[in-house]
Amino acid sequence: MMNCEEYLLQLNARHDGELAADQCAELETHLVECSHCRAAAEGFDSIDAELRVAFAPRRAAAAALTDRVLAEVRALADNSPTPAPAAPRTRLFGELSLADWGRTLLASAAGFLLAVALFRSSPAPQVNPGHVLTAATSAQPAGHVVLASGPVQMRAVNQIPVFNCPSGSAIKPASVVRTGDNARCELSLAGGNKVRLDRNTEITLHQPDRVEVNSGRLWAASKAAAPIEIVSYGCSIKSDSGSELAVERQPKSMRVVVVDGAVNLSTAKESKQLAGGQQVDVAEDQIVASSSENDPLLETAWINGMLAGRSSGRQEFGQRVQGLLAQVGSAKLSLLYEDELRRLGDGGVPPLVAYLKSTQDKPAEGQRIIAARIVADVAQPRRIGDLVVLLQDQSPEVRYHAARGLERLTGRDQGLTTDAWKAESTAEEREAAYQKWKEWWTANSDRYAAHSHANVLALAV
């Protein structure tokens, strides 16, 4: 029986996405009974959030440091194939030769001109003429880049210089933010709202509560106490209460998908209140029901990859995965939901395993078998521990799929064939095979890359 001090360690690991799925169930049970640990869980959330905000400038500094070191490495490479020892340096610029400076300046100029060309090639942002822009001199950032999967660029409105924005960068009000072909990003806005940009998306962050979509796709979540306005294509989308929505801007139209909550959509000709689940297209100031047959979860599936593997996105990602799973086998376009779950690959396995663990009291439920089947097909070696634990599931089908996944990943069956896990074996035979799997994994886990230490511990109990 663990004490609260040990549960606190588990709470900390769970917060960071480092706790094995099978330990989560026992922890959840303890949290129901222990107010001290519940308070501690909230404390972890709040201190973590505060630390992430406080460290945002440090992350930006780390990115700038990287650039400086790379410049010096390239300069050294140009000068000599085997860099000569140099005295300890405290100033970068004073020790570069004239030739180094020349190359550095030429490279900088080329990059600058390229950035100007890229930004100038996109349509100018459409600003609602009725809105007065606040001068971009506020010392308070309008937001921060909290996640970037590739290069994200920023410039001030009506200015030319372009800056790269790694994770942690602060975004001032009246800034244009743009993602390229291979980048998605998430911005945390002052006030607590969030926006995510898909690839090839450009927005203007006028203020923390006013975002303009110039091109591409945006997802936004607003809190009840922090209204947000999304403007695009001459339209205004206002959310006065907590809501989640997505906007896709095309050259001559716009799609609005309301995932949750309610928003008010206004064009020059009409205004409509939209509720969660609704999708509309806007063209020539007219609002019509969307022709898309995808529900909001599928329309916003592009954000799933940004959530997978992030401790801060774990809860949201788990909800989305379970939402997709609920539609498999029941929705009209059921295959699309299963395809999305499979597309997530190994990143989607933790919430599926968590779902299987949390539904042990409904062993025969159809969605459990679908979840187990997907896990068996897509799990990577680091999930072997999770699959071993699933061998003890109440459902023969789930056990069968777990064994199938283990055979795919390891080439082994520990003396019990995959079919036998479904029907033909006795409880004693299954227990014996399970123990062999446990011992084997404990002895061999080091051979498999990127497994979780906690995963090994889970089986050592």
Q: Contact residues for another protein (CB under 8 A)?
A: 8-9, 11-13, 16, 18, 40, 43-44, 46-48, 50-55, 57-66, 68-70, 72-74, 76-77, 81-86, 88-90, 92, 139-140, 147, 167, 170, 310, 450, 452-454, 457
- Shortest Å distance, C-beta 88 to another protein: 6
* Sign for the pseudo-dihedral over CA of 62, 67, 71, 77: positive
How far apart, in whole angstroms, are the C-alpha atoms of residue 342 and residue 379? 10
Tokens standing for residue 172: 């001032």
- Shortest Å distance, C-beta 61 to another protein: 4
Please, which residue, 81 or 129, has the CB nearer to another protein?
A: 81
How far apart, in whole angstroms, are the C-alpha atoms of residue 118 and residue 81? 34
- Shortest Å distance, C-beta 124 to another protein: 28
Please, which residue, 189 or 282, has the CB nearer to another protein?
A: 189
- Shortest Å distance, C-beta 345 to another protein: 16
Tokens standing for residue 220: 């936004």
How far apart, in whole angstroms, are the C-alpha atoms of residue 245 and residue 46? 25
How far apart, in whole angstroms, are the C-alpha atoms of residue 173 and residue 155? 11
How far apart, in whole angstroms, are the C-alpha atoms of residue 198 and residue 185? 7
Please, which residue, 44 or 240, has the CB nearer to another protein?
A: 44
How far apart, in whole angstroms, are the C-alpha atoms of residue 152 and residue 197? 10
- Shortest Å distance, C-beta 147 to another protein: 8
Non-local CB neighbours of 396 within 8 Å, separated by 6+ positions: 421, 422, 423
Q: Following CA atoms 370, 373, 375, 379 in sequence, which dihedral angle do they give, to the nearest 10 degrees?
A: -160
Please, which residue, 116 or 457, has the CB nearer to another protein?
A: 457
- Shortest Å distance, C-beta 101 to another protein: 18
CA 27 from centre of chain: 24
* Sign for the pseudo-dihedral over CA of 374, 377, 382, 384: positive
SS3 of 265-297? EECCCCEEEEECCCEEEEECCEEEECCCCCCHH
CA 156 from centre of chain: 26
- Shortest Å distance, C-beta 28 to another protein: 18
Please, which residue, 117 or 460, has the CB nearer to another protein?
A: 460
- Shortest Å distance, C-beta 308 to another protein: 13
CB of 28 within 8 A of CB of 22? no
Please, which residue, 232 or 304, has the CB nearer to another protein?
A: 304
Please, which residue, 104 or 360, has the CB nearer to another protein?
A: 104
How far apart, in whole angstroms, are the C-alpha atoms of residue 285 and residue 287? 7
Please, which residue, 143 or 296, has the CB nearer to another protein?
A: 143
Tokens standing for residue 429: 């035979």
Angle (CA) 267 179 278, round 5° = 35
- Shortest Å distance, C-beta 446 to another protein: 12
Please, which residue, 385 or 396, has the CB nearer to another protein?
A: 385
Please, which residue, 48 or 240, has the CB nearer to another protein?
A: 48
Angle (CA) 230 199 148, round 5° = 90
